[in-house]
Chain A
Amino acid sequence: MAALFAAALNLGAAEIRTWTDLQGRQVVASFVRLEGGDIVLQTKDGAQYKFALTKLSAEDQKIAQSSAAAAPAAEAAPSFLANATVAQAAAKVDQLVAGGLIKANPDRVKGGKAPITKFNPPASDEQFVRRVYLDIAGRIPNHDEVAAFLKAGGSDKRAKLIDQLLDSDGYKTHLFNYLAEMLRVKDNFEQDNVRGTPYIGWLKEQVAKNRPWNEMVYEMITATGKMWDKKPDGTYNGAAGYLLRDAGMPLDNLANTLTVFLGTDVACAQCHDHPFADWTQKQFYEMAAFFGATTTRLGGKDFANGDRGKELMDQIEKMIASNPELDIRRLRNGLQNYIGANRTAIKDRAVNNLKLPHDYKYKDGKPGDAVEPKFVTWSAQDKNNPAYKAAKKEKGEEKLRESFAIWMTHPANPRFAMAIANRMWKRAFGVGVIDPVTSLDNVDDASNPELLKHLANEMVRVKFDLKQFMRIVYNTRAYQSEATTENIAMGEKYYFQGPMLRRMSAEQAWDSYMTLVLGQPDQFKAPLQDLYAKSIDLNLDTVDPQTVLIKYDAYRKIQQKENELMGGGLDMAGEDMMMAGGARKASTSTKKTEPADDSAQGKFITYEGMRLLRSAELPQPAPGGHFLTDFGQSPRNLIDGSTKIGNVPQVLMMMNGKAQKMLTSPDSLIFRSMEKVRDPSAKVETIFLSVMSRKPTVNEKDIAKRALAQGEDGYANMIWALINTREFMFIQ
C-alpha cells in the first residue's frame, strides 16, 4: 500500500482518478478490477497494485463496486489500460521483466552465475544512438546524426529519436528485411519467368503504410489471382506471392504458415506424428485441408474460354515465319515460358482434393482418404475461443482459405498475436521470451511466461500495429540498458536485464557500409520496379498474338534498361549527390530540362560493379559472392535462414574486399568529412563518430596519434582498423 501511494503520479487519462484510503493517503490510478475481496488499481506508470478493498474509504469502495458492475467483463479483460500511454505501457513491461529477473535467480545460482538484482546500467547516449539506429533504421547513424544526438538536450531526447526513426525510410527497409527473411521472399520463383517482384513491392507498401499485421497476413493467405494483377486502387496483387512462393508444394507452404505465424512446431507432422509434441500427422492434414481446393497453377478449366496458349503460339509462329530475320527455333521456348508464367495464379476450385498420403500408416485413417478441414487446439478451453467460432461462418469449398485466415489472424487465436509479439521482442533484445520463436507450443517454456502473455495482449491492444508495439519496447528501461557482458550459452534462458550483445545482420552491416559511403543511403532506390509486372502480364482470355510479341520484347529488355541506369561514381555520393538532386528539381520546374539531368533520374551509384543501394533495394537474396551472401544473408529457402557466424571468406572480404577498399579510398565520404576540419585530433574524432558512433577515449587518441605519425596512410589505416574491430560488428 505504501508503495502504491509512493508511486502516485499526476492525473492522466479520463478514467484515472484519485483514490483515498482509510488513513487519508491518496493515489492517482485507474480501476482495473475486483478480485474476491481485493481491488486492483493501475498507476500511470503502468504498474498494478492489489490490496484489500476494505482499506479504501467507504466512498471509494462504492465507486470501485460500481466500476466493477459497469464493466462486468473486466475480469476477462487484459490487465492493462485500454489507452495506456507509451510510457505507461513500457513501465508495465519493465515491471514484468523485473519480476522475471528476480525469479530467475535460483536457476542462475545453480548454474554458477551471480544473482541478478536489477537491470544492467542505463546505456550511454553513445551506445544508445548507435543501437537504436541499427535496430530501427537498420544502419549505423552517420557522422552528423551522431553529433546532433549527443549535443541535444532534454530528458525526452531518446523517446524523440525513437519516434523520429520509426517514421524514417530506414524503419521501412529494416522491417522489410526482417519480414523478407522470415517469409523467404525471393526474386526468382521456381517456375520460369515467375519473379517475386510484385510480392516484394507489395510487402514494402504494407510496411510503409504500417498496415496492421493481422490484415497483412489475412491478405496473404486469401489472395486470389496472379501476383501482377492490377487492383482497382492501382496497386498490384502482390500478396498472392505468399502462396505462389511455394507453388506446387502446398504442404510445405502450410508447414511454414503454421511455423511462422503461429509458432506451432508441426512441420514434423507433415511426414509422421510429431515424435516429441502432441501433433499427429492426421492433424496436419486436417489443417492442410483448408487449402485442398486451392490451386497455384491454372489449367484449361480455370479459363473462361479454355487455355488459349497453344492457339496463340500457332498464330505467333506464323507471324515469325514471315520474318526471315527471326528463327522460331530460338524463340519458341522463351515465348512458351513467357505465356506459361501467366498460368501461375491462385484459384479456389469447387472440389477439395486433399487426401491422406500414400504412405499413411496410422490407425485413424487410410492412404488416400479424404480429409475434413479441422483446426488444431492448444488447450481444452480453445473450443469456446471466439477465433474458432468466427471461422465457422464461412461455408463452402471456395471459402476454406477465408475460414482458415479468419481463425488464424483472429485477435483471440491462442498463438497468432503471441507469435509476432515474441518475434518483435527478439528483434530488440536478440532473443525471444520463448526461443526458438518458431516453437510456442508450450508457453511455460518461456523464460518469463507472464511477460510473454502480456506482450501478446499488448499486440492485441495496439491492434497489431507493429510500429506502436516496437515504440513501447524501445522505450522500456530494459531495452535502454547496457548490453549484457557475460557469455550466454546457446539455449540458456535469458531474462532481459538488457539487450544481448548481437552481431550485426548481413543487411545491417552492408547498410552501415552504405551509410559510411553515401551518408543518407535511403535516397537511392532500385529503379523500374514495376516494369516486370507490366511486361509479364497477359490476360490469356483475351490477349492477341501481336500484343504477346510486343510485350515479350519489352520483357526481354528489362535487364538492358536496368544496366543503362547504373552509373555515377563514389564522388557523387553524400552531399554532392543531394545537391545534384536539388538542382534537378529546380531545372524541371523551369521546364528546361537538361538532357544530362534527365538521364540522371533514378540513377544510383556503383563502385567496381557493386550497386551502392541498401540491401532491401538489391536482388532478393543478393547473388552469390556478394558481401551480403558472405556475411550470412539468408538464401531465403528456410524461415529466418540467415547466419551470424563468421567464416574465412567473410573475414577475407572484411579485410581485403571491394567494400573495404571503397571505404578507405580518398573519394569516400569519410575522407571528405575529414576535409572539413584541419586539426588532426578533430579528424580522428570525425573518423570515430562516423565509424564507431562515439568519440575516441584518451587512450585511443594516443593510439591514433602514433598511427598518424607513421605516414600519410595513417587515416586509411585507422578507418580500416576500426571497421575490422569486433566493436564495429557487434551491437552493444
Chain B
Amino acid sequence: MKSELLKLNDANRRQFLLNAAKTTLGVSVLSGLGAKMAAAEAVSKSGPGTPGFGKAKRVIYLWMGGGMTHIDTFDPKTGETKGFKDAAKAKGDNIGYLGGYLPKLADVADKLAIIRSMSSKTGVHESGTYIMKTGYEPRGTIVHPAMGSWASHFLGRIKDKTLPDSVVVNSGSAYPGSGFFPPAMSPIPISNPETGLQNIAPTASDNQFKKRIDLMNEFDTGFRKKFQSEDVKAYTEFYDETLKLMKSEDLKAFDLSMESTDTREKYGRNNFGQGCLLARRLVENGVRFVEVQMGGWDMHNTIDNAMTTNGNTLDTGFSALITDLEAKGLLDSTLIVLGSEFGRTPDVNENDGRDHYPLAYSTVFAGAGVKGGYAYGSTDKDGRRPADKQTSPQDFLATVGHAMGLPVDEVVMSPSNRPFTVADKGVPVVDLFA
C-alpha cells in the first residue's frame, strides 16, 4: 500500500487518502479528517505561525448586497466589456487599475489586496448571500452560523464588556445569525447607524424608570419563587444584563454624535458611510465582528447612473475607513473584507445594465497583515472566467477564519449531530498575507 501511494501524484494521493478514510472510518468522521488532509496537502497552510494567522483581532465585513459588478469596481477591463467609464490608476505594485467610479480607493490601493478570481455556482441572491456569509449552501434542514458566531464559538464570548461580540449594521435582521450555535452568539442588528441600538433610551425619566423596574420585581416575586425553571431565571438574567447595558459607558460606542462633523462628512452622509464609521467605533470598543451592509448593487438597468451614486458611496466610506483605522493605529489588527453574492455579466445588456454572474467576481481585503497593492488571481481579458487561482466562497471565508486565528479544519458537531467546519473545508489564501 505504501509503495502504491508513492507512485501517485499529489492530487491523486489526496483522493486516495480520502477514499481510504471513507472506506475504513465511516462517514461521520470523514469530513473533518478529509479536510485536515486536504489542508495539509494544500499550498496554503493555516495554523499558528503561518503568515497572517490570528492577526485580525477584529473584522469589518463590508457587504455589497445585490451582486456587485466586478468590472466596474475592482476588476476593470478595457475591451468590449469595459462599460461606460475609464478605469482609474491604482496606487501600489500590481493592482494596476480600479474602476473609474472609485478614485479615492485607487489612491489607497497600496493598502488593498484583491482576489480577482472568485467563482461561485449560484446566481440567486438569497443562496449566494448565504454562501458568502456561512460558507455553506442553504439547506432546508439546518441554519449554518455566520463568521462572527464561529469566532464566538472558538474564541469565546468577549469578557468584561457589556457590548455584543458581533453586530450587523444597516439590517433589521441578524440572519443567518448564530445558526446552530446558541442564540447568545448571534449578532445584534442595527437597522440605522444614526439611531444606533434600537430602544436603548428609556421611554420614561430615570426616576420613573427605576420605579417601574422596582415595581416589576415586586409584583413578580411570587411567580419567580414558585417556578424554579431555568428559563425563568435566564429571563431575569437578560433583564439584569440589559439594564446594565442601558447604563453602560460602552453604549457610547453606538453614538455617532460623539464624532466631529469633519469625520462624519469624510465617511459620507449616508447609511453605508455612517455604518463604516459606526463599525470603526465598535471595533475600537472591543466588538469583534461587524458587518456593514450596503444595498443597491442589483444593477440590471442603466448601470452608469447606478454606479455613479453607489460607486461614490462605496468609494468614500471604504477609503475613509482605511485611513481612519490607520490613523488610530488599528489597521494592523483589524481586517476589512468586502464581499458580494456574485459578480455581474461582462456584457452590458439591452437595458444598459448587467445581470447576475457568479462565474467571476472580486473580493477585497485590507489591514491585519494583508499585503498592500496586491492582486491575487485574475480573470480573462473580458472578465468572463478566472484565468488562474480560482477561489471559491469557501476559500474566501476560510481566509477570514485564518486571519482571525480560527481552526478552520476542526470539526464541530451541530446539536443534531451533523459535522461542520468553518467555511465548509475552504482553503485559506495565505498568500494574501505578508
Contacts and interface: CB of A to CB of B under 8 A. Distances in A.
A binds B: yes
Interface of A: 184, 190, 246, 249, 252-253, 255-256, 259, 267-268, 270, 272-273, 275-276, 328-330, 332-333, 361, 483, 485-489, 501, 503, 623-626, 629, 635, 637-639, 641, 643-653, 655-657, 660-661, 664, 697, 700, 703, 707, 710, 713, 717-718, 720-722, 724-727, 729-730, 732
Interface in B15-50: 22, 26-28
A499 to B, nearest CB: 12
B180 to A, nearest CB: 10
B200 A656 contact: yes
Contacts of B182: 645
B11 interface: no
B224 interface: yes
A629 B211 contact: no
A707 B215 contact: yes
A53 to B, nearest CB: 50
B173 A624 contact: yes
A275 B212 CA distance: 53
Contacts of A664: 203
A650 B186 CA distance: 13
A727 B200 contact: no
A644 B212 contact: no
Most buried by A among B173, B175, B231, B352: B231
B171 A624 contact: yes
Nearest to B241: A648
Interface in B193-251: 197-204, 208, 211-213, 215-216, 218-220, 222-224, 226-232, 234-236, 238-239, 241-242, 245-246
Contact of B141 (A328, A638, A729): A638
Given A259-B141, A624-B171, A653-B198, 8 more contacts: A637-B140, A639-B140, A641-B143, A703-B215, A713-B204, A717-B215, A726-B223, A730-B227
Contacts of A329: 301-302, 350-353
Contacts of A720: 204, 212, 215-216
Contacts of A184: 140
Given A273-B27, A275-B28, A656-B203, A648 B188 contact: yes
Contacts of A730: 223, 227, 229, 231-232
Contact of A488 (B139, B222, B223, B229): B229
Closest 9 CB pairs of A and B: A624-B172, A625-B172, A624-B173, A721-B215, A252-B140, A646-B238, A727-B223, A725-B220, A275-B28
Nearest to A256: B140
A89 to B, nearest CB: 31
B172 A623 contact: yes
Contacts of B96: none
B242 A648 contact: yes
Interface of B: 22, 26-28, 124, 126-127, 138-143, 164, 171-173, 175, 182-184, 186, 188-189, 191, 197-204, 208, 211-213, 215-216, 218-220, 222-224, 226-232, 234-236, 238-239, 241-242, 245-246, 300-302, 350-353, 417-418
A703 B218 contact: yes
B164 A648 contact: yes
B232 A660 contact: no
Contact of A635 (B28, B175, B226, B353): B175
Most buried by B among A332, A486, A626, A653: A332
Given A653-B199, A713-B204, A501 B227 contact: yes
Nearest to B225: A485
Nearest to A251: B140
B232 A726 contact: yes
Given A255-B141, A638-B141, A648-B188, A718 B234 contact: no
14 contacts: A255-B140, A267-B141, A332-B301, A483-B227, A637-B143, A645-B234, A646-B234, A647-B183, A648-B238, A648-B242, A656-B199, A720-B212, A727-B223, A732-B227
A361 B18 CA distance: 12
A275 B189 CA distance: 37
A611 to B, nearest CB: 16
B12 to A, nearest CB: 17
B242 A638 contact: no
A650 B189 CA distance: 11
Contacts, number: 192
Nearest to B191: A625
B222 to A, nearest CB: 8
Nearest to A626: B172
Most buried by B among A184, A647, A703: A647
Contacts of B219: 700, 703, 721-722, 725, 727
Contacts of A252: 139-141
Nearest to B183: A645
A625 B195 CA distance: 13
Contact of B197 (A246, A483, A652): A652
A330 B28 CA distance: 52
A485 B140 contact: no
A657 B199 contact: yes
A691 to B, nearest CB: 10
A485 B351 contact: no
A656 B215 CA distance: 16
Contacts of A710: 211
Contacts of B138: 637
Contact of A275 (B27, B126, B208, B211): B27
B229 A501 contact: yes
A542 B302 CA distance: 32
A729 B232 CA distance: 9
Contact of A652 (B171, B198, B231): B198
Most buried by A among B127, B140, B351: B140
Most buried by B among A273, A489, A650, A724: A724
A623 B232 CA distance: 27
A508 to B, nearest CB: 15
A190 B124 contact: yes
Most buried by B among A626, A660, A720: A720
A656 B351 contact: no
Contacts of B218: 703, 721
A682 B184 CA distance: 42
Nearest to B244: A648
Contacts of A655: 199, 202, 242
A653 B202 CA distance: 10
A276 B143 contact: no
B208 A717 contact: yes
Nearest to B220: A725
Given A332-B350, A629-B172, A649-B188, A643 B199 contact: no
B245 A721 contact: no
A607 to B, nearest CB: 14
Most buried by A among B191, B197, B229, B352: B229
Contacts of A487: 228-230
Given A503-B231, A656-B202, A648 B216 contact: no
A707 B211 contact: yes
A638 B28 CA distance: 23
Contacts of B241: 648, 651
B417 A729 contact: no
Given A275-B27, A661-B203, A726 B235 contact: yes
Contacts of B301: 329-330, 332-333
Given A637-B143, A648-B164, A656-B200, A713 B208 contact: yes
A721 B186 contact: no
Nearest to B231: A503
Contacts of B226: 485
B238 A651 contact: yes
Contacts of B127: 190
B351 A268 contact: no
A259 B230 CA distance: 29
Nearest to B192: A625
Given A275-B27, A652-B200, A330 B302 contact: yes
Most buried by B among A501, A651, A703, A710: A651
Contacts of B189: 624-625, 649
